[in-house]
Amino acid sequence: MLVLAIDTSTPAVTAGLVALDGDALESRGDRVTVDPRAHGELITPHALEAVKAAGATLRDLDAIVCGVGPGPFTGLRAGMATAASLAHALGIPAHPVCSLDAIAADVAPGEAPFLVLTDARRREVYWAAYAADGSRADGPHVQRPADLETTIKVAAGDGALLYADALGVQPIEPRFPSPLGLVKAAREDFQSEPAPLTPLYLRRPDAVEPAARKKVTTP
């Protein structure tokens, strides 16, 4: 099956086509731009270019996988809206996946547990803890690095690079979710009905409803 993978939960605008044959995964084409201000502008062109680079068309797709965060509000919505629109138009399922799980799926196999941390802005990180086999053991959470108490010494994700000293961890690859990682994290769900595309925001938005305008009266 051919799966289009999309993620806009981090500064990376990510789209790629992955071929799935049993347990074998093959990347057929991807487009990634690291620009935290370009999610809405680039995600659809990236998706179309990735499909074209693979020598396929949208009609060839069997499913879509979309990272649902945790991530910032505006960026996350861009990717999820694109995934939902394409899935609806093509009549194919769109499977949600925790973006931290997608990063964890690309961590090289080892014998020790690890963290995945991404930048949550406001001097905070989104994070989750994983066992050595890559299964999630805790999280996802949003927290200040100084308040994160852990004995784990290695961490993937761009948040690990930003706050390595504060956390006392050794950063490891990858920094961002990849199309292959997204599909790896979601493939066990391909045989069942997809869950709703529900964003993992983890905290309230910065924007607030404007206060009621003061009434202007004439004497």
Over residues 19-43, the pLDDT tens digits come to: 999 889 999 999 999 999 999 999 9
Q: How far apart are CA 38 and CA 34, in angstroms?
A: 8
Q: What is the pLDDT of residue 22?
A: 85
Residue bearing tokens 């910065």: 206
Q: What six digits make up the tokens of 21?
A: 């044959």
Question: What is each CA distance from 152 to 102, 113, 132, 177, 182, in whole angstroms?
Answer: 19, 7, 11, 21, 24
Instruction: Dump pLDDT digits (tens) for 54-86.
Output: 999 999 999 999 999 999 888 999 999 999 999
Q: How far apart are CA 12 and CA 43, in angstroms?
A: 10
Beta strands 136-143 and 124-130 are: antiparallel
What beta strand segments (E) does 86-218 contain?
A: 94-97, 114-121, 124-130, 136-143, 154-156, 170-172
Q: What is the pLDDT of residue 191?
A: 87
Dmax over CA atoms of the chain, in Å, equals 78
Q: How far apart are CA 91 and CA 213, in angstroms?
A: 45
Q: What is the pLDDT of residue 211?
A: 54
Quick check: pTM over 0.95? no
Mean predicted lDDT score pLDDT of the chain: 92
Residue bearing tokens 């784990």: 152
Angle, helix 73-90 to helix 39-53, in steps of 10 degrees? 40
Q: Rounded to the nearest 5 degrees, what angle is found at the Cα of 160, between the Cα atoms of 115 and 141?
A: 55
